[in-house]
Structure 1
Amino acid sequence: MSTDATTAGTAPSRDPRHDTVAREVAERMADAAHDWLDVLDDVRRGIAQLGAPGTDAEVERLRWFYTPTDHGGLTMHAQSPAQQDRALKLVASGLSTPGFVTVATVMGLENVLSHTEGFGPGFARERKRDPGLYYLRVFGEPGATGAWGYRFGGHHVSVNVLVVDGAVRSTTPLFLGADPATSPLLGGATLRPVGQVEDLARELVRSLDAEAAARALLLDRAPSDIIGGNRSRVGDGDELLRLAEVWRAPFPEPSEWAALVRFSDAIEDGSGLDAADHRTMALTSAPKGLPGDALDAGQREMLRAVLATYLGRVPDGLAPVYDDAALDAVHVAWAGSFEPGEPHYYRLQGPKLLVEYDNTQRGVNHAHSVWRDPGGDFGADELAAHIAAHHG
């Protein structure tokens, strides 16, 4: 996707607090990063810290995942409790309180998923679902000058941050998922870490009249996953990546990898989408679906509420602000049923924005959600400007 095409229309504005917040948050991040790195021995630090953004480490910095694969970095397992605490302090520094609580909850769901699947080994490791396999890595030297960043990820979590000259410049891609998406709690309550991300969007599309709903509906069946997958850059014509493609590398044991490929194929086959359907669902620079300017006042507030479940993942003041003019250009696209409990997918796309959500797998109890900036993911634009100014 070209930057110009995806920013057609009025771009979002900056929160008036942005510059101050971006520097305050970056300072907290740098302090937390040093606090963590300084208590690691040389071996652990060699895993935890790579070169600065824009150097030879850039290829690795741009790799991100949301499957239970090796995300790259130092795992929670490999750290003492005190080191884990400092690692999580760094993670929390780049998230809002609700964002961090959701990340921590998703990590804990690995235990619930173990219970669901009957515990035991898998994925070529002793424990198939493991809350200790979340990876943290710092790129560059945290501080007030130059470029540095960090990545935190594991199953259903990917947090990617870039800081340039003492200010936060990028917080995307930012992925949160949940498996199970809904879990029972005592007293009849339920645990749904991304429940509002789904429910608010459904409320919006179900409020549409027949004509508007038809414009929003791309397909009456849902794809098995988000379309952009874990691509470092999304582009025109990108189609669904199968599960086995969203992995760092095949397992050492060929039979185990073959089993994952079969599982991946079964998920895709179960969606019922054919080649034409995948073309319909492909990403494009020109947004598909129903534009915000076709919504009434109440529906526009619903759209703002959905956006807030993504933009609100980071500290107040960091996320872009979608005023009325920018909201006009945000398109709502849906695939699958509008009914709760049925497989579904949605996309919000507009100026500097690509949001995707799906809940289709494991009997519609396995959700994925991601916030991206097609032209600025990983701070590509900000980093390029920094390099041109200082190293050109």
Structure 2
Amino acid sequence: MASDDPARAVASSMAEAAQLWLQTLDPQQRSTGTGAGPAADATTDAERRRWFYTPTDHGGLTIHQQRPAQQRAAMRLVASGLSAAGYTTAATVMGLENVLDRTEGFTVAFDRERGRDPGLYYLRVFGEPGDTGAWGWRFGGHHVSLNNLVVDGRVVATTPCFLGADPAASPLLGSTLRPLAGPEDLARELVRSLKPDLAAAALLVPRAPTDIIGANRSRITEGDELIPLVGIWRAPFRDEAAQAALQTMSDTAERTSGVDAAEHRALALSASPKGVAAAAFDAEQRELLRALLATYLGRVPDGVSPLARYGDDAALDAVHLAWAGSTAAGEPHYYRLQGPGLLTEYDNTQRQVNHAHSVWRDPEADFGLDVLAGHRAAHHS
């Protein structure tokens, strides 16, 4: 169905893809692959707002649990919520599970039959896809988390949107595979181009945290600090030895980072952006920032991306860059971009600086909570 409203056109493609996928499912598959419709009530909507980026149970029907034709229908739905470049990146990240398995000697289990598994990506549709009411879908697995909400036939939320890469860099024949090269290299180029006073203002602490600060929280709140790795799973492992190994891994990462309590407080998230504002950037730095923003906001189709707003100088002025760790390539680092309706985070610290995380969020409207509240008021007043 054509539409002059780009957000409606994207929503129409999503609804068509979701309906086609659901039609392929048997009753048991459908029970696993669907959930309650989106709601403003936090208790009713709790599962939809739950998201992960670790190799844990993300909730929904896995690729493994589907026949090939169903898998293709599932990936068609995933593609409906991504740009061409976003889809390629997500598919590459999924394929990296095989590379990571080899890197770890085909030994890691994480309380599952296979710890690094390109088939353990989960899809769930919430509510009934269509052009009225509220419905949404979530796709996630290790290093991928996509969350979309449609209300009355318009896409109103596409965040949290997470992509990671482990390994961050992998050898190819004659070249190197780096799925997140853009957000890393552009940010480094930008921060290293700053004059000393601006660089000092951008640097929060000299050491990098082990992960993104917002982690997998459903909502970002004032003063949020790092959640250790062991805390970002749906549930503890049934195998006590596996849980103990994860705890050791988490503790070792924290100890190795060297970040102390005062530095964790300095890195804490806040409503008021930290770092240096783009208003202080020169023309070349401003274009670098726009290119960097595109590596996050360009993950989704143009019709639902807020990227165009940063063509306005006033909107760009309000974006702040904050950095932690070294600015040298190959050294642990973290940064975030923050402004009204915007928070992106990036880190590359683990596995000898070869394990990257990147996330795009809207602290005020993740999961479309702002729209859902208004929708409920309009329809239940």
TM-score range, shorter chain: over 0.9
Aligned to 2:137: 150
Conserved in 1, the CA contact under 8 Å of 2:10 and 2:303?
Answer: no
State the superposition RMSD in angstroms.
1.0
- 1:13-92 equivalences in 2 (<5 Å): 20-54=5-39, 57-92=44-79
Runs of 4+ in 1 over 2 A off after TM superposition: none
- 1:327-346 equivalences in 2 (<5 Å): 327-346=316-335
Deviations 1:185-242 (A, max 9, x none): 002x000001111000000001001111000011111000000000000111100000
Tell me how far apart the structure 1 counterparts of residues 98 and 239 of structure 2 sit (CA, whole Å): 25
- 1:180-259 equivalences in 2 (<5 Å): 180-187=167-174, 189-259=175-245
Conserved in 2, the CA contact under 8 Å of 1:358 and 1:369?
Answer: yes
Superposed displacement of residue 121, structure 1? 4.7
Q: Does 1:179 align with 2:166?
A: yes
Residue 72 of structure 1 aligns to a residue whose secondary structure is: coil
* Residue ranges of structure 2 left out of the alignment (5+ in a row): none
Deviations 1:13-40 (A, max 9, x none): xxxxx97110011011001001001110
Residue 107 of structure 1 aligns to a residue whose secondary structure is: helix
Tell me how far apart the structure 1 counterparts of residues 169 and 242 of structure 2 sit (CA, whole Å): 28
Change (3 A) 1:203 1:389: same
Q: Does 1:361 align with 2:350?
A: yes
How many correspondences in the alignment? 374
- 1:265-280 equivalences in 2 (<5 Å): 265-280=251-266
Residue 345 of structure 1 aligns to a residue whose secondary structure is: strand
Residue 59 of structure 1 aligns to a residue whose secondary structure is: coil
Structure with bigger RCO (C-alpha 8 Å, 6+ apart): 1
Conserved in 2, the CA contact under 8 Å of 1:50 and 1:57?
Answer: no
* Percent of aligned pairs with the same amino acid: 67
In the alignment, which of 371, 375, 383 is matched to residue 360 of structure 2?
371
Conserved in 2, the CA contact under 8 Å of 1:35 and 1:86?
Answer: yes
* Residue ranges of structure 1 left out of the alignment (5+ in a row): 1-17
Equivalent residue letter for 1:177? G
Deviations 1:260-309 (A, max 9, x none): 11111111111001110100100011100000101011101111110000
Conserved in 2, the CA contact under 8 Å of 1:120 and 1:126?
Answer: no
Conserved in 2, the CA contact under 8 Å of 1:138 and 1:151?
Answer: yes
Superposed displacement of residue 128, structure 1? 1.3
Conserved in 1, the CA contact under 8 Å of 2:101 and 2:108?
Answer: no
Equivalent residue letter for 2:227? L
TM-score, normalised via structure 2 length:
0.97
Residue 233 of structure 2 aligns to a residue whose secondary structure is: coil
Residue 64 of structure 2 aligns to a residue whose secondary structure is: coil
Deviations 1:321-364 (A, max 9, x none): 22210111100000000100000000100010000000000000
